[in-house]
Each structure stands twice: as C-alpha cells, then as structure tokens.
Amino acid sequence: MKSLIWIFKVLAYVALVLPPRHASLLASHRESGGELASCSPFVAGVCELILRLGLLLVIATCLEATIGNLVYHQLKFDVYFGFLGGTGVLHFFFHYGFVSVNFGGRFHFQIYRLLRNLLYASLVALPVIFVLSAHQLFEARDIYTDDFLLSIYFYITMGALLLGLFEAFVSRRVPVGLDQLDISEKEGEGE
C-alpha cells in the first residue's frame, strides 16, 4: 500500500497538482552547498517548475508515441496535459505569492486556499470528459457533440467550484498538500 501511495504522490507531483517544494529544495542545497545554494527562492521555484513541466511534457510525448497521434488527439490528451501544465503554473505563482513569501498569515492561507480550489475545480471534470471521449472513440461514431462535452465539463466544474469555495471559507487550518498527509496510521485499517 505504501508503494501505491508513493506512486500516487510522484504522479501528482509531476502533474503539478502538489504544491511546489522549492523551499525544502533550496534548504537542502544550502546545507550541502549545491548549485542552487546561492539562488533566491523565486529562482529555485522557477527551476523546479521548469523541471516539473519538462517531466509532464516527456510523459505526454511518450503517451502520444505509444497510443498514436490520432487516438491521442481523439481522447483529448493534448487538452488534459495543457490544463495540467497551465493550472500547475498558476498554482506555483499562487503558492509562491501567498504561502512562500508571506509565511504564517492566516489571511494569506485563506486566499491561497481559495485560489487553489478554483484551479482544482477546473481539473475535476477532466476524467469524466476522458471517459466520455473514450466511449465515443470505441463506439466509432459521434455520440457526444463538443457542445455536450463542454456543458458536462462546465456543470461538473461549477459543482466542484461550489464545494471548493465552501471548503475555502469554512476550513481554518493551514493548507496541507497531498505530500504532507500522514497516512501511516490509517494503513492498517480495512485490511
């Protein structure tokens, strides 16, 4: 189970869903005298962002080479990877501006949580659109119009957006990324 959780965390990190880790990266380089030791936190964050975007691009390219250009575009993977990259870049700037620079301010955490939830709401509907696109591809006929898929995306995104807004205004704790969750205690449950 721990290995599955580790794989999930790595995929979420590469997909730019997890918050940036440039602060811990910079701290470890300063301790060990690494090449980023003299960089500012922003430069270290941009280096990390470029690395993560590069890894996402490599995964997208490998997937396209594996399943073929036609299927890749029919299943709209180019749109999905574009969304992941775009929301990841925005997430980086939101995290840097409201969490990394302004340590400890509750108001800054609330603003960050709100903006992060807005970004995540746009990603929630992508798996549903993927399933509908795959169904249409394997049926080999046009079942769903692009307008229908867009309306499904819109309604699911709006539902996730409402839940995210509710969570942002109700929750009072400091935002915790998936990489910081301690699930070791829950691992024995249900097995």
- Measured on CA atoms in the order 140, 144, 147, 150, is the torsion positive or negative? negative
Residue 178 domain-assigned (yes or no): no
Residue 185 domain-assigned (yes or no): no
Position 179 scores a pLDDT of 47
Give tens-digit pLDDT for 43-101: 888 888 999 999 999 999 999 999 999 889 888 888 889 989 999 999 988 888 887 77
Residue 29 domain-assigned (yes or no): yes
Give tens-digit pLDDT for 146-189: 888 888 889 999 999 898 888 877 876 655 554 454 434 344 44
Residue 44 domain-assigned (yes or no): yes
Task: State which of 3-7, 64-68, 121-125 shows the largest mean pLDDT.
Answer: 64-68
DSSP 127-164: HHHHHHHHHHHHHTS--S-HHHHHHHHHHHHHHHHHHH
CA distance 183 to 35: 33
Position 59 scores a pLDDT of 93
CA distance 160 to 167: 10
Q: Tell me how crowded residue 92 is: count the other CB atoms within 10 A of its CB.
A: 21
Q: Which domain holds residue 129?
A: 2-173
Q: What is the CA radius of gyration of the chain?
A: 19
Residue 91 domain-assigned (yes or no): yes
Q: Tell me how crowded residue 108 is: count the other CB atoms within 10 A of its CB.
A: 16
Residue 98 domain-assigned (yes or no): yes
Task: Taking residues 118-132, report their average pLDDT.
Answer: 87
SS3 call for 98: helix
Residue 117 domain-assigned (yes or no): yes
The structural domain count of the chain equals: 1
